[in-house]
Structures are given as structure tokens and as C-alpha cells.
Structure 1
Amino acid sequence: MRAIRLHAFGPAENLVCEEVPDPVPAAGEVLIEVAAAGVHVLDTHLRKGVQGPLPRPVELPTVPGREVAGTVSAVGEGTDPALVGRRVVAHLGMNPGGYAARAAVPAERLHEVPPQLDFAAAVAMIGTGRTAMGVVQFAEPGPGPADVVLVPSAAGGMGILFVQHAKNAGAVVVGLAGGGPKLDRVRAAGADLAVDYREPSWSTQVRDFLDGRGLPGATIVYDGVGGDTARAAVDLLAPGGRHLVFGWFDAEGSGTTGPYEPAEAFLKERGVTSTHVLGPAMMKKAGGENPIRTLELRSLALAAEGRLVPAVTRFPLAEAARAHRALENRRTVGKVVLEP
């Protein structure tokens, strides 16, 4: 089968398309004919040899990718044969192998893809969507009609979902994005105001918009970008506002060595809170015996209902290197997906 392999850490060009043996599903696993594989920004850092938030370094050579959707073509020993032919999606957790024509996946990780969803949308929701659902739970009891939600990187995979989720709840939504086509996509997702964060006056534009509506500021900021944009976004929070921080930050991706950490004195003076929402905190908030699966089910259900529609930028599997470059250079909208 065809797969994308990484033999040495480094630039995107190190991702090469090769012929490799088909994976064989072990006991309790299924073999998926991959129709869509998710590309995550974390993949671009792992490719460079940066361990990031993973518990162990990547071992080379490797087939990157941890999100796949497609059709089950075979099952391993002890796995229900009725799964053959099912349309499924799965997150592989810490195990790579998604950038390939076929992937062996534990059956316990599978979700059936509703007929109204295509495989690319399902891939977007199984990883990016589940994290978005994990983040928004920290905005409870909002967002709602009384909220003003500010979304930096609103044209990204999670940002588009935040915009839709907040708008569905009746909130006023301000989305930040880089450039005309991205701004158009943010408006189409429901944002009341879409602003180019690359313009020096962007925060003034937002302030003027809020003042024109008699609003004292944002009540919720979903911050996955850090850096100067986060600093300006937090300055736009109204007293009592919430700064919800997620993501893994680095100098190249955000222009800073870490997320913006508002000083305690500033928070106290403004009466706002800053909360890191990833990791154990998110799992505890989701609750249940399997909080990750709870968030995946919630994400897929909202997409099946049409309440959340992920944006997708598609690339052929063989062009994984080009997909990585486009993602790193911020030339994509929504979730990046490889299609064999």
C-alpha cells in the first residue's frame, strides 16, 4: 500500500510517499481502508523532532497521523465480523499510522460515521472537534445571548467550530483571521464581525464595533494562538470575562515562547479569569468513565445534526509535504485532510 513515511526529522520534504506492507489487524483490531486522514499542527512539530506534549519521542521511521476515517475491510481475531463494510472514524491516540491507504485500529476506538457526514468531516470532528467541545465546556453557563465571544484564529479547524457554536447559542461573535478569503469563511460561519489580525488597528476595529453596540468588551476569549494577538485579545475582555487557553505554543507558531500569561494583578484589577483547559482539567470536566469518547460522541452528534459544519482543506495523500507547508504557512482554512 501507499503510505507517507518519515525517515529523518526535518523539513516537510522529509515526508515521502512509499510502498509499504499492508498492516495486519491484531486481535481486537480492524483494518480500515482510509478515505481521509487528519493532519494536525502537532504533526508538523513532531516531524521536526520536537516531542511537544507527547509522553515519548517519535521513533523513526514512522508513518505520521493519528486521525482516520474510511471503511472496515477486515477484522482481527475476536473482533466482530459484522464491522466489515461499516463506515467508521477513529482517533489513534498516541499511536501514529494515519497517513496511509490502510490503517489497523483497535475496534474500541471506532465510531460509526453517520450517512450525512463525509469522511473528511468525520476526521475533522474526531480530533479537532472533540477538543473544541472540551474547550467550550469551560465557558459554561455560556456562551449565550449575554456573551460576546472573541475567537482568535477563527478560520482554523477549531476556530470555525467556536464561531458556529457561539452563534448557535445567540452570542455576539468576533472572529480574527488573516486575509480576505479567511475572513469571508469566518463571516460565512456566522461571525458578526471578522477582522484581519495582521492589521495594526485590528483591536481598535473590534473596540469600535463593541462600543457601537453598547458592549463593554468581550466576555469569552478562546485563545489557542498566544503571543501579541492574545495580549490584545485579553485587553478587550470586559470585567468578569474569561480567557480560556488551549493549545501547545512555540516561538514559530505563536510568536512567543509560551501562551500569554496575564499578570495576577491585571486579572484582579479587571476581574477576569485565565484558565488553561487542556489535559486533566478537560478530562475531569467532561466526566464519565471515558471522557475522551464522551467528547468525540458530542462532537460527531453536533456535526450529524448540522449544527457544526467543519471547514476542510483537502490534499492528496501523496502531497503530504505540501499539506504540511501550507499548514505551517497559514495558507489553509479549517481542518487539513489527506485523501488517498
Structure 2
Amino acid sequence: MHAVRLHAFGPAENLTYEETEAPRPGPGQVRVAVRASGVHLLDTALREGRTGPAPAPVELPTVPGREVAGVVESLGEGVAHLWLGKRVVAHLGFVPGGYAELAVTEVERLHEIPGNLDFAEAVAMIGTGRTTMGILQFAPLGPGSVVVVPAAAGGIGTLLVQYAKHAGATVVGLAGGPEKTARVAANGADLAVDYRDPEWPAKVRARLGGSTATVVFDGVGGDVAREAVALLGPGGRHIVFGWSSGGIEDGGPYLVDGVSEQVLGPVMLGRAGGPDPLRTLELRALAEAAAGRLTPAVHRFPLAEAAAAHRALETRGTTGKVVLEP
């Protein structure tokens, strides 16, 4: 089979497309003929040799990738025959192997793909979608909500805009540049604003006509977050799920005037509940997509061009979830 392998930590160019031995499913596992592989920002950190939240350093050589969708084509011992031929999606956890034509995972990680989703969309929902469901636990939305979404053209931002609109909220989506702003408007935001325009906060206030924001969903940080938080009214909530542009002042995680709440990691999973909180969020994400309430944005690359996908992701040259397709 063909796969993308990493033999040495370093830049994106270290990802090589090559032939390698196909993995074999063990007891309780299946082998999936992969039709789409998810690319995550964490993958770029692991490629460089930074472990991030991973429980252990990556051992080389490795096939990166932790999210796959495809068709079950082989069963390990003890797996029910009914899985054979199913369209499935799975998050592999911290086990690598996703950037390949074939991948192995435990049967209990599988979800059958709803009929209205293609493979790339299913990958987006199993990763980006489950994170979005986790974030939304912390800010119930309704017709009286006024929601500000920085990075609204990104994978999570796209889904947050859609969810808020379906809930009846007024949505302000922020993005960098006219192309991304146009995507935000097409996605349903009531107001799509280019945060590169220094006058954008004043334009938002004028459009809101005296109303104030009730929620800011912030995965960006930096000056954009500072200006967005200033739009909140009394009792407003600043939900922090990342800081890709650094903290408002010191380049790190931050709180603002006591209204911020960081919802990453154990906090998000603790709210989800159930014996397997991650799976709980995955099921919610797929259900929202199956019902047509959420449609993920997908940026597709050929599997052989994984290095280009990493470079684009690192330089903010992507829109939506980055997916590799064989």
C-alpha cells in the first residue's frame, strides 16, 4: 500500500509518500480501506518532535494521522461479520496510521457514516465536529443570543456559525481577507467582517444598533480576541478553546475581566459525561450532520501531497478541515 511516512522530525518536507507494508488487524480490530484522512494542527507539532498533549513521544519511522474514514475491508478475530463493507469513520486516538491507503483500529472506535455525508465530511465531524460539540456545552444559544465567532472561516468556526444560526442567534463572523469573509457570509452569518480592517469593531457596533454580544467563541486570542471581548455586554461569556494568535498580552492562555472560561481538555470531557465522553461528543456531532443542521467545510488534498497540506495549515492557507484523499 501507499502511505505518508515520517523518518525524521522537522519541516513538512520530511513527510514522504512511499510504499510500505499493509497493517494487519488483530483481535477485536478491523482494517479500513481509507478514503479520507484528517489532518490536525497537532499533527504538525508531532511532526516537529513536540509531543503536545500526546502521552508519549512519537517513535520513528511513523505514519502520522489519527482520523480516518473509509470502508471496512478486513476483520480481526472476534469482530462481527456485519461490519464488513460498512462505510465507517473513526478517531484512532494517539495511535498513528491515518495517512495511508489502509488503516487498522479497534472495532469499538467505529461509527457508521450517515448516508448524507461523504468520507471527507465524516472525518471532519469525527474530529472538528466533536470539538465543536464540546465547546457548545458551555454556552446555550437561542433567539436572544448575539454570537461573535473569530476565525469563522475555519473548521470549528464554520460549524459554530451554523449551529448558532439554527438556534436562532444573531451571528457575527470574523475572518481575515475578502475571500474568507465571503465564505463566512455564504455560511449564514448575519454579519461577516474582515478583522484586518482596523475599523471592524466600530462597524460591528453600528450593525448591532446598541445591542451587545452575549457570547464570544474564541480559538484565536491576540488583538482580535481583545476587541471581540470588548463587544460583550453584562453577563456575556468569553469561551476560550485556543489561542492560535497568542494571549491578549503575554502570548499565552488568558482570562479577561473575569468573564472568560477555558474549556479545553478535561473541562470539556467532564461536561460531556458518560462512560466515554469523547464518543459521546462524536455521536452528537454525527447526529447534527445527519440531521442536516451542520455541514463541515473541507479543504481537500491528495494523500501524496501531505507535505503541502501541512504547510498550508501552518500558514493559515486553508479553509475548513484539512483532509487527505488517496
1:210-229 aligned within 5 A:
210=208, 212=209, 214-215=210-211, 217-229=212-224
Query: Offset at 1:248?
Result: 6.2
Query: Offset at 1:300?
Result: 0.3
Classify 1:337/1:297 alpha carbon distance in 2 versus 1 (closer, same or farther; 3 Å): same
Q: Could you tell me how far apart the structure 1 residues matched to 2:288 and 2:136 are?
A: 13
Match of 1:288 in 2: 274
| Stretch of structure 1 that moved more, 285-294 or 84-93 | 285-294
Match of 1:270 in 2: none
1:41–1:327 Cα contact (<8 Å) kept = yes
| Stretch of structure 1 that moved more, 159-168 or 76-85 | 76-85
Q: Could you tell me how far apart the structure 2 residues matched to 1:65 and 1:169 are?
A: 33
Which secondary structure does the structure 2 equivalent of 1:74 belong to? strand
- Do structure 1's residue 239 and structure 2's residue 237 form an aligned pair? no
1:219–1:240 Cα contact (<8 Å) kept = yes
Match of 2:25 in 1: 25
Query: Offset at 1:64?
Result: 0.8
2:221–2:243 Cα contact (<8 Å) kept = no
Q: Could you tell me how far apart the structure 1 residues matched to 2:306 and 2:75 are?
A: 28
Which secondary structure does the structure 1 equivalent of 2:52 belong to? coil
2:226–2:248 Cα contact (<8 Å) kept = no
Which secondary structure does the structure 2 equivalent of 1:209 belong to? helix
Paired AA for residue 44 in structure 2: T
TM-score (norm 2): 0.96
The count of residues paired between Structure 1 and Structure 2 equals: 326
- Summarize deviations over 1:177-213 as a string: whole Å, max 9, x none: 1112211111111100111112222222222222x2x
Match of 1:42 in 2: 42
Which runs of 5 or more structure 2 residues have no equivalent in the other structure? Answer: none
- Summarize deviations over 1:189-244 as a string: whole Å, max 9, x none: 1100111112222222222222x2x30x2111111111221111111111100011
TM-score (norm 1): 0.92
- Summarize deviations over 1:60-109 as a string: whole Å, max 9, x none: 21111100000000011111122110000000111111000000010000
Report the aligned-residue RMSD.
Answer: 1.6
1:52-67 aligned within 5 A:
52-67=52-67
1:165–1:308 Cα contact (<8 Å) kept = yes
Match among 283, 286, 298 for residue 284 of structure 2: 298
Q: Could you tell me how far apart the structure 2 residues matched to 1:316 and 1:254 are?
A: 37
Which secondary structure does the structure 2 equivalent of 1:138 belong to? coil
Q: Could you tell me how far apart the structure 2 residues matched to 1:45 and 1:246 are?
A: 18
Query: Offset at 1:250?
Result: 7.2
Query: Offset at 1:247?
Result: 2.9
Q: Could you tell me how far apart the structure 2 residues matched to 1:154 and 1:319 are?
A: 26
Query: Offset at 1:256?
Result: 6.2
Match of 2:157 in 1: 159
Q: Could you tell me how far apart the structure 1 residues matched to 2:149 and 2:313 are?
A: 19
Identity of paired residues, percent? 65
Match of 2:133 in 1: 133
1:89-128 aligned within 5 A:
89-128=89-128
Paired AA for residue 221 in structure 2: G
- Do structure 1's residue 335 and structure 2's residue 313 form an aligned pair? no
